[in-house]
């Protein structure tokens, strides 16, 4: 077998260099641990960027996919399939929505949400000059539409012009939002908890005020729950804890726990005045294989009481990270809910350096925002896993500061 370095050298010759990858080649996983090709164990507090909610080598999940593979993998959306129907019923019920369109990714879910919002406005007045208000420091994906509503200029500028008619407001600043809303505004889009931007939860009063404004002006509220949804914050969808319901919600990542599937969901009010046959489609979207995964994920969430574990272990993680913050003056802040949390560092410590040292020490953590480490582990972690993570994190911080 080739060595780790040989595989990495080969990869650098053939893969497009759009990621600065960590120098590790993983081979398999079990529970909350990953193993490289040399057999070294890593405690995973990344979960494939908030994807593997149920952990690795989950036998029931694996068996559900194997069973569907033996039946049929793909038929296209010209036909019905039982997994797609059952997944649609289960997911809309979990989200409190009425209609769903399955996509292949989170970015595609955002694309669909944007189209639905613009079509809704077009259906009302026939205009094509409607505007969307997005948030600064947000992240919604890398496709052109998703990038257009991503509030980071550095991500957008090399690929301009974007889709146009997008304004940006400061997240959690209602006055800033009001200054961007016009009589052309058809939608407001935001993450309920900003992920890539640095783990910033929406302020409860702010989100409720935005919902009220949207109701008054018949503006659609689009909530991006691609990273913070599917139980990660402690409720199935983060907006539930706010007592707010969006008009359109996007999901992906943990909804399929590894297979490429996302979705955008909407209320019946939006569905009645937006996308109709010919407006939107996807060859692979919602095929029987990925929908079988969605069904199994939602079943396990209920049967294994995943949300209860997130609430309990999330509280413990918060308390342990608070201890770390108290011990290290270089940590400026600690934010998050459930099992989506972050530590922000001052300029004396680079979060990326801490992550690299942690991986050397057998812990997978990744960055977010300007100088933040985010903690987004599988939702099945235990207090013992948290304790082990804290020990490795402390060792890694000492290694950086020494």
Tell me the C-alpha to C-alpha distance, in Å, between residue 13 and each of 27, 205, 316. 20, 51, 44
State whether 171 and 23 are in the same domain. Answer: no
Q: Please say whether the beta carbons of 214 and 206 come within 8 A.
A: no
Domain boundary among 283, 303, 323: 303
State whether 160 and 101 are in the same domain. Answer: yes
Q: Please say whether the beta carbons of 139 and 191 come within 8 A.
A: yes
State whether 294 and 309 are in the same domain. Answer: no
Task: Output the pLDDT for position 399.
Answer: 75
pLDDT band at 1 (very low <50, low <70, confident <90, very high): confident
Q: Is the pTM of this model over 0.95?
A: yes
pLDDT in tens, 70-89: 999 999 999 999 999 999 99
Answer yes or no: is 176 within a domain: yes
CB contact set of 116 (below 8 Å; sequence gap of 6+) = 220, 248, 264, 266, 270, 274, 275, 280
pLDDT in tens, 141-190: 999 999 999 999 999 999 999 999 999 999 999 999 999 999 999 999 99
Q: Please say whether the beta carbons of 171 and 190 come within 8 A.
A: yes
Task: Output the pLDDT for position 289.
Answer: 98
Answer yes or no: is 14 within a domain: yes
Mean pLDDT across the stretch 390-400?
A: 93
Domain boundary among 303, 330, 360: 303
CA distance 271 to 99: 7
User: Residue 256 maps to which CATH number?
Assistant: 3.40.640.10
State whether 298 and 167 are in the same domain. Answer: yes
Answer yes or no: is 202 within a domain: yes
State whether 293 and 206 are in the same domain. Answer: yes
pLDDT over 70 at 401, yes or no:
no
As for how many domains the chain has, the answer is 2
State whether 280 and 314 are in the same domain. Answer: no
User: Residue 323 maps to which CATH number?
Assistant: 3.90.1150.10
Q: Is 223 helix (H, G, I), strand (E, B) or coil?
A: strand
Answer yes or no: is 63 within a domain: no
State whether 258 and 318 are in the same domain. Answer: no
Mean pLDDT across the stretch 282-304?
A: 98
pLDDT over 90 at 101, yes or no:
yes
Q: Please say whether the beta carbons of 195 and 139 come within 8 A.
A: yes
pLDDT over 80 at 400, yes or no:
no
Answer yes or no: is 246 within a domain: yes
Answer yes or no: is 391 within a domain: yes
pLDDT over 70 at 300, yes or no:
yes
Mean pLDDT of all residues belonging to the chain: 97
Answer yes or no: is 326 within a domain: yes
State whether 330 and 394 are in the same domain. Answer: yes
Task: Output the pLDDT for position 402.
Answer: 52
State whether 150 and 208 are in the same domain. Answer: yes
State whether 330 and 286 are in the same domain. Answer: no
pLDDT over 60 at 245, yes or no:
yes
Determine whether 209 is exposed, middle or buried from the number of CB atoms within 10 Å of its CB (0-12, 13-18, 19+). Answer: middle
Q: Is 29 helix (H, G, I), strand (E, B) or coil?
A: strand
Q: Please say whether the beta carbons of 318 and 338 come within 8 A.
A: no
Domain interval for residue 248:
71-303
pLDDT in tens, 11-66: 999 999 999 999 999 999 999 999 999 999 999 999 999 999 999 999 999 999 99
Domain boundary among 259, 277, 303: 303
Closest listed residue to residue 292, CA positions, set 129, 64, 103: 64
């Amino acid at each position: 077998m080739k060595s780790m370095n040989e595989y990495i050298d080969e990869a650098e010759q053939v893969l497009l260099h759009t990621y600065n990858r960590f120098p590790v080649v993983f081979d398999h996983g079990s529970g909350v641990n990953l193993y490289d090709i040399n057999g070294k164990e890593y405690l995973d507090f990344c979960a494939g960027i908030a994807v593997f909610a149920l952990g690795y080598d989950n036998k029931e999940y694996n068996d559900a996919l194997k069973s569907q593979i033996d039946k049929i993998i793909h038929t296209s959306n010209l036909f019905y399939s039982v997994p797609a129907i059952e997944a649609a019923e289960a997911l809309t019920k979990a989200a409190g929505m009425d209609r769903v369109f399955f996509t292949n990714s989170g970015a595609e879910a955002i694309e669909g949400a944007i189209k639905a919002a613009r079509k809704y406005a077009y259906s009302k007045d026939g205009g094509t000059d409607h505007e969307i208000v997005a948030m600064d420091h947000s992240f919604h994906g890398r496709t052109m539409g998703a990038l257009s509503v991503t509030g980071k200029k550095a991500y957008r500028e090399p690929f301009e012009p974007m889709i146009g008619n997008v304004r940006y407001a400061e997240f959690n600043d209602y006055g800033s939002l009001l200054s961007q809303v016009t009589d052309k505004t058809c939608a407001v889009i935001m993450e309920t908890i900003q992920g890539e931007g640095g783990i910033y939860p929406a302020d409860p009063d702010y989100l409720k005020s935005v919902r009220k404004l949207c109701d008054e002006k018949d503006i659609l509220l689009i909530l991006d729950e691609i990273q913070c949804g599917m139980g990660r914050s402690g409720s199935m969808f983060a907006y539930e804890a706010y007592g707010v319901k969006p008009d359109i919600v996007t999901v992906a990542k943990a909804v399929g726990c590894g297979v490429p599937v996302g979705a955008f969901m909407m209320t019946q009010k939006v569905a009645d005045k937006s996308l109709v046959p010919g407006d939107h489609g996807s060859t692979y979207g919602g095929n029987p294989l990925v929908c079988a995964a969605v069904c199994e994920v939602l079943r396990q969430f209920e049967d294994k009481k995943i949300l209860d574990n997130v609430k309990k272990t999330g509280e413990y993680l918060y308390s342990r990270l608070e201890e770390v913050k108290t011990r290290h003056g270089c940590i400026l802040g600690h934010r998050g809910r459930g099992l989506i949390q972050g530590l922000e560092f001052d300029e004396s410590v680079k979060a990326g350096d801490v992550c690299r040292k942690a991986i050397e020490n057998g812990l997978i953590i990744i960055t977010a925002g300007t100088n933040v480490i985010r903690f987004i582990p599988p939702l099945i972690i235990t207090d013992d896993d948290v304790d082990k993570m804290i020990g490795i994190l402390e060792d890694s911080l000492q290694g950086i500061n020494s």
